[in-house]
A and B are shown apart, each in its own frame.
Chain A
Amino acid sequence: MRHSRIFRSPRRAVPAAAAVASLLALSACGGGDDGGSTDASGKVEGKITFQTWNLKANFKSYFEGLVDDFEEKYPGTEVKWVDQPGEGYADKISADAAGGTLPDVVNVSPDLVAPLAKAGIALDLDQAAGKYEKEYLPGAWKSHQVPGVQGTFAFPWYLNTGPLFYNKRLFKEAGLDAGKPPKTYDQLFDDALEIADKSDGDIATLANVPTIEDFGRYGVPLMNKEGTGFTFNDAKGVELLTKYKKLYDAKALDGQALTATPESTGKKFLTEAVAMNPGSALDLEKFKKDAPALYKNIGITPQISSTGKDNMYVMGVMVNKRTKQTPAAVAFAHFVTDAQRQMSFAKKVAIFPSTKGSLDDPYFTKADGTDETRVRIAAAKSLKTAVNYTPVLFSEQMKVALRNSVAKALQGKDSPEEALDNAVKQCDRLLQQS
C-alpha cells in the first residue's frame, strides 16, 4: 500500500516523525489544565507567581518588600514576581491564558477581567474570598463584576482619577477669566469656541474626540441593564457629538484629534498647543520637570460631569482559577490589596486606595498649601462617589469602532445620529461574538 510505504521508507519516516512530533508538541500548547480549586480555606503554602504591569521600573523595592513580608507572614510560601511591559499586556495575558501558563495572581483592569471571567479563567472571589468584600469600597468591589456572569473576579486595587488642567495664559490671551474655568459642558464648549476664535483657529481647547467615558460623564446611558446591548446612540449621545462637531469645525478641537492617543494629547498640552487636558496628580510633577513655562501658568479645576459623578480608573488583582495553590494565591492577592498595603503604595505614588476608610486618612484630607496636596484631596473626595464609566464589556475593538464612527461624524461624512447608530451596531455585533 502506498500509505504504509511512507512510513516503511526511512527516507520519509524521519521527516514525517519529526513533523508529527512537532505538531503533537504544539497541539499541547493550546491545552489548558483546569486544575486548581475554588476552595481558598486550606493552608497558605507553596510557590506562586505574581504578575504586574509596568511597575518594576519605578517600584521594584516596594514590591520586593511586599513579597518578603508575605513570605515572612506565611512560612512555606514562595512568591515569584514578574513584571510585563504595558505595551501588548493584553496580548501577553491572552497568550498565557490560551497556553495554560497564566500566573497565579495577575494585575488586571476590569476590561481584561471580563473575557477571562467569561472563559472561566478568573476565580470567583464572591465564592472563594467573599469574607473580604466588606474591606473595600462597594463601587470598587463591583467594578470587577461582569454582566451575564455571576461573581466578582478581582480584588480592587488602586483607583485613580484627576482634575482637568488648563493653561491660564491661553485663557487670558483669549480674553477669558483665568480664575473662572468652565464648570459645565456648556461653559466648556463656549470657552473653547471663544479661544479658537480669538486665536484664529491656532489654539484648540481639547485634543481628543469623545470617548465612551466622555459619553458616560455627559449622562448618556451606555448599556442596557442586562449588559446585552449598547445604548449610547440615544438623544443625549447625539447631542454631545453634535456639540463636538461644532468644536471641530471651529478648530476648537485639535485638527489631529481624530488620530490622537492619550500620549499625543498630553504632549499637545505640554507644548501649549491646546488649552485644556484631563490628568491626574501624577502630571503635576511632569509639568514641573518637562514644561516649566506651562507649570507657571497651570490651572486646576474639577472634572466636568453632568451626572455629578467623576470618572475613575480601577486596577485589580485577579486570581487564576487554574492555580494549584488557591489558598496562597487568594491570600497573596488580598495581602497586596489590603488597607495597609494600599495606603503604603498610595504614599509612594499619586494613586488612591480602594479600601474602606483609607480615603479619610489625613494624607487625603489635610491641606498643606501645595498644588499636589490640593489635587490629591479633591480627587480623594470625588472618588467616594466616582464611577468607572467604561463598561467592562467594552473591548479594544469596540473602542476603535466608536472612535472611527465619531471621526466620520466630525468630518461630516455621517450625521451624528448615523455615526452613533453605526457604532452601536458594530459594538453589539462584537459583543455577541465575544
Chain B
Amino acid sequence: MTAMKTPSPATSPAPPAGGAPRATKAARAPRAGRRVRRQLPTSPWLFAAPGLVIVGWFILYPFVSTVLNSFTDKRQLVEGKYVGLANFRELLHDDMFWIGLRNSTLYVLVVVPALVILPLLLAMLVQKQIPGITFFRSAFYTPVVASIVVVGLIWVWMLDERGLVNAVLEAVGAGKVGFLSDQWLLLFSAMAVTVWKGLGYYMIIYLAALANVPRELHEAAAVDGAGPVRRFVSVTMPAVRSTMVLVAALSSVAAFKVFSEVYLMAGPTGGPAGEDTTLVMLVQRTGTGLTGRVGYASAISVVIFVVTVALMLLVLRADRKENR
C-alpha cells in the first residue's frame, strides 16, 4: 500500500497572509469537486424544468398559439389557413367590436378611480383600533371570497323589476327603475358590483400600506394645524402613492378584461341588443361552441392583450413622472 498523495490539512502550505488563497493548478479542487462544478450549469435547469414545462404548456403555448391563430381563419372543427391581417381588418368594420371596446374602456374609466380611492378611505376607517373593528374588516372582505356567480345572482335578484331595490324605490314613491333593462343602467349596475366586490381586496392592500405610514407625520401635521382632509392629502396620499399605483394597475387590467359581472347581469346576449357586450364577452361568444370562429376570437384577444399592456405602461409611466 502506498501512502495517499493528497496532502493532509496539516501538511498543506498555509494561505498567503492578507487575502484569499490563490488556487494553483496543483491546488485546484479534487476530482469529485470538479465533477460537481461541471454539473452546475445544467442542474438548475433540471430543477426548473417542471415549472418551465408548466409555464410553457399553460402560458407560453396558448399565448403564441393565440397570436398565430389571429392570422388564420381557423374554426373549432376546421384547421384554418393563413389570412394575414384579414381578421383585424374585419374587426374595424364590426359594430360589436367597437361596442365591446367602448364598454371595456368605460369600465376602466369608471371602476379604476373608484377602486383606487374608495378602498383607501375604507382602509383608513377600519385601521382604527376600536372594539369590534375586526368584525367590520371581515364584513368588508366577505364579498371578495364570495363566488362571483353567487354575487351576480344576488344582485340580479335585488335589481330585478320586482326586486328589493325597486320595492324600496316604489315604497318611497320613486317608481321602478329598469336597472336590468336599460343599456346604461345595466352597465353601471355591473360596475357597481365590480367595485363592491373589489373594495375588500384593495382595502387589505391599503391596510398593509397604511401600517407603514409613521404616526409622527400625522401628529406633526396636526400640530401645524392641518385638518383631517389636509392630513389625508398631504400625509396619507403621498405615503401610500406607490400602493395606489399598484391598485390602479391591477384594477385597470381587471376592469378591461371584465366578463363575469356583465355576463351574469346582462345575459348571454350582452344586454339589450348586445349593447353591454365587453371585449372578453365577445371573445367568448365568437370563439366558443362547435361553430366558433377561433381565428377571429384570437384577433380580439390580441387586441385585448395590446390594450392591457398599454394600460400597464401608462400607469407605470405616470408613476415615474410623479417620482421625478
Contacts and interface: CB of A to CB of B under 8 A. Distances in A.
Interface of A: 10-11, 14-15, 18-19, 21-23, 25-26, 30, 90-91, 93-94, 97-98, 112, 115-116, 118-119, 121, 255-256, 258-261, 264, 271, 273, 395-397, 400, 403-405, 407-408, 411, 413, 430, 433-434
B53 interface: yes
10 contacts: A18-B49, A90-B289, A94-B292, A98-B77, A260-B267, A395-B289, A400-B268, A404-B273, A408-B273, A433-B73
Given A400-B274, A404-B274, A271 B61 contact: no
- B60, B186, B269: residue with the most chain A Cβ atoms closer than 10 Å: B269
B286 A397 contact: yes
A408 B162 CA distance: 24
- SS class of chain A's interface: helix, strand, loop or mixed? helix
A262 B28 CA distance: 80
Contacts of B161: 255-256, 273
A400 B160 CA distance: 22
Contacts of A396: 285, 289, 291
Given A22-B56, A23-B61, A94 B77 contact: yes
A98 B77 CA distance: 6
Given A18-B53, A256-B160, A395-B291, A11 B45 contact: yes
Nearest to A91: B288
Nearest to B54: A22
B46 interface: yes
B61 A26 contact: yes
A291 to B, nearest CB: 14
B46 A411 contact: no
Range of interface residues on B (Cβ < 8 Å):
35 or more
B181 A397 contact: no
Given A258-B272, A404-B273, A411-B272, A397 B56 contact: no
Given A10-B42, A26-B61, A115-B77, A430 B291 contact: yes
Given A18-B52, A97-B77, A403 B291 contact: no
B42 A14 contact: yes
Nearest to B265: A259
A399 to B, nearest CB: 9
A93 B272 CA distance: 29
Contact of B267 (A15, A19, A261, A395): A261
B269 A403 contact: yes
B45 A407 contact: no
A413 B95 CA distance: 14
Contacts of B292: 94, 397
Nearest to B61: A26
A252 to B, nearest CB: 15
Contact of A98 (B61, B76, B288): B76
Nearest to A90: B289
Contacts of A258: 181, 269, 271-273
Contacts of A119: 77-78
Nearest to B285: A400
A413 B76 contact: no
Nearest to B277: A404
Contacts of A10: 41-42, 45
B102 to A, nearest CB: 16
Nearest to A255: B181
Interface of B: 41-42, 45-46, 48-49, 52-53, 56-57, 60-61, 73, 75-79, 160-162, 178, 180-181, 186, 266-274, 285-286, 288-293
A380 to B, nearest CB: 31
Given A14-B49, A97-B77, A261 B268 contact: yes
A403 B96 CA distance: 14
Given A19-B56, A23-B56, A119-B78, 12 more contacts: A11-B42, A22-B53, A26-B57, A26-B61, A94-B289, A115-B77, A119-B77, A259-B267, A259-B271, A259-B272, A405-B273, A407-B274
Contacts of B41: 10-11
A118 B290 CA distance: 11
B76 A407 contact: no
Contacts of A112: 290
Q: What are the 8 closest A-B residue pairs judged by CB atoms, nearest first?
A: A14-B45, A258-B272, A119-B77, A407-B273, A115-B290, A395-B291, A259-B267, A404-B274
Contacts of A259: 180-181, 186, 266-267, 269, 271-272
Contacts of B286: 397
A112 to B, nearest CB: 6
B290 A116 contact: yes
A15 B180 contact: no
Nearest to A261: B267
Contact of B285 (A23, A30, A273, A397): A397
Nearest to B267: A259
Contacts of A90: 288-290
Contacts of A255: 161, 178, 181
Contacts of B57: 22, 25-26
A404 B61 contact: no
Nearest to B46: A14
Contacts of B48: 15
B36 to A, nearest CB: 15
A8 to B, nearest CB: 12
Nearest to A433: B293
A118 B75 CA distance: 12
B89 to A, nearest CB: 15
Contacts of B60: 19
Contacts of B46: 14
Contacts of B181: 255-256, 258-259
Nearest to B162: A273
A315 B160 CA distance: 34
A68 B178 CA distance: 54
Nearest to A259: B267
